[in-house]
Structure 1
Amino acid sequence: MKKANLLFAIEALIAVVLMSMNPTPTGYKVGDVIQDFKLKNVDGKDVSLADHKDVKGYIIAFTCNTCPVAQAYESRIIALNEQFAPKGYPVVAIQSNDSQRSPGDSYESMQQRSKSRKYAFPYLHDDSQTVASAFGASNTPHMFVVKKEGNQYRVAYIGAIDNNQDDGSSASKKYVEEAVNELLAGKPVTTPSARAIGCGIKWKNA
């Protein structure tokens, strides 16, 4: 009996360890309605999704200053805003890295980056990391396309921008672009998710 109890305890411990190594994914899924948020923009003003009544949706980009992958995709995020903001799907960029762990992602550095790269979209500071946590964002970049339905926003796409990190012009699948074009045409999104590739978000130490 003692051996059986010991074996059960060992198996339970192994299960707990495995669960901690592979935590249950959290955050929004495709089809979920998201909660609006309010974050400080690089111009010092608070921004929420409800601020713009005439949009059809948003392209939400969790990104940062320092990640090489985010830097490689920066011009493509700028191009997405140029292409789709006039059609009702502007970009909202969010920076959620802990600046203590990544000093190059401080609010002041965000302001400098936005100015030097001439961002024509909000670059919001998720200092508490609550928005990244709510979305389930894990990488930079990590993209979410949300469609406006009345006063709500429903997730239509989650994941990567495209399937070629090195050269966007050579990408055979441009996931975000295709998703927004399908939404604008009143069609369902053919590819609603694709694995986001990039640096992990630098979470605050517990």
Structure 2
Amino acid sequence: MTLEESARELDRGDEAPDFELPGADGETHALADFADHKALLVTFTCNHCPYAQAKFDTLNRLADDYDNAAVVGINPNDAEEYPDDSFETMQELVDEGTIDYDAYLRDESQDVARAYGAVCTPDPFLFKSTNNGFELAYHGRLDDAHGPDEQPSGEPGFEMAGAIESVLTGVPVDHEFRPSRGCSIKWQ
């Protein structure tokens, strides 16, 4: 298992790269489908990485806690080399309720992950809605628990929850970039 830390590719204020990807729910989802939300949390994640698995419940809770924020997971991993990251396994995780956020999408080509500059799972990007789409408000970790067996110093996802609260109330996110840590994206 190769560990990576997220790196800064997009800067605050940059537009969210567009996407249109198949979802584990059988629907195709595009960036514009989330335009009725004030905030959009896009997290590059996967099925098999213990760091990503440790944040499933956190992402589910964030999706549940904020009606005006959409939470979207995108799995870019090479399922040929890592069969546990297959689309079928994604569907199973959604069907059984393990993943219960707004959408869990498959980035088979890995083009979306590259456009965002994602490097690890999980790698979260928080966007705020604007008249022209979404712009980056914060890119960084969900909380200060770095390992799958660590507990955060506050509620799970507390750092991202604070950033979402800022976006929803129209206040600039004051968090400095705090990299997420997890398994490297499994590039083709």
Which TM class, normalised by the smaller chain length? 0.7 to 0.9
Are the equivalent residues in 2 in contact too, given 1:140–1:198 (CA < 8 A)? yes
Measured in 2, the distance between the counterparts of 1:35 and 1:173 equals: 24
**Which residue in 2 is equivalent to 1:167?**
151
Measured in 1, the distance between the counterparts of 2:36 and 2:53 equals: 30
Letter in 1 for 2:19: F
Instruction: Calculate the aligned-residue CA RMSD, in Å.
Output: 1.9
Structure 2: gaps of 5 or more residues = 1-6
**Which residue in 2 is equivalent to 1:138?**
119
**Which residue in 1 is equivalent to 2:161?**
177
Greater share of helix residues, 1 or 2?
1
- Tell me the SS of whatever aligns to 1:193: coil
Are the equivalent residues in 2 in contact too, given 1:76–1:168 (CA < 8 A)? no
Q: Could you list the per-position Cα deviations for residues 91-144 of structure 1 after superposition, in whole angstroms to 9, with x for gaps in the alignment?
A: 011001000121100110110111121514210000000000000001110100
- Number of aligned residue pairs: 178
TM-score, normalization by structure 1: 0.80
Do residues 150 (structure 1) and 131 (structure 2) align?
yes
Q: Could you list the per-position Cα deviations for residues 154-189 of structure 1 after superposition, in whole angstroms to 9, with x for gaps in the alignment?
A: 001111100024224646983211111111222111
Letter in 1 for 2:28: D
Are the equivalent residues in 1 in contact too, given 2:38–2:167 (CA < 8 A)? no
Structure 1: gaps of 5 or more residues = 1-24
Letter in 2 for 1:189: V
Measured in 2, the distance between the counterparts of 1:52 and 1:137 equals: 20
Percent identity reads: 35
- Tell me the SS of whatever aligns to 1:176: helix
Q: Which has the larger radius of gyration?
A: 1
Greater share of strand residues, 1 or 2?
2
**Which residue in 1 is equivalent to 2:77?**
97
Cα distance change of structure 1 residues 72 and 172 upon mapping to structure 2, 3 Å threshold: closer
CA positional deviation for 1:26: 7.1
Measured in 1, the distance between the counterparts of 2:8 and 2:101 equals: 31
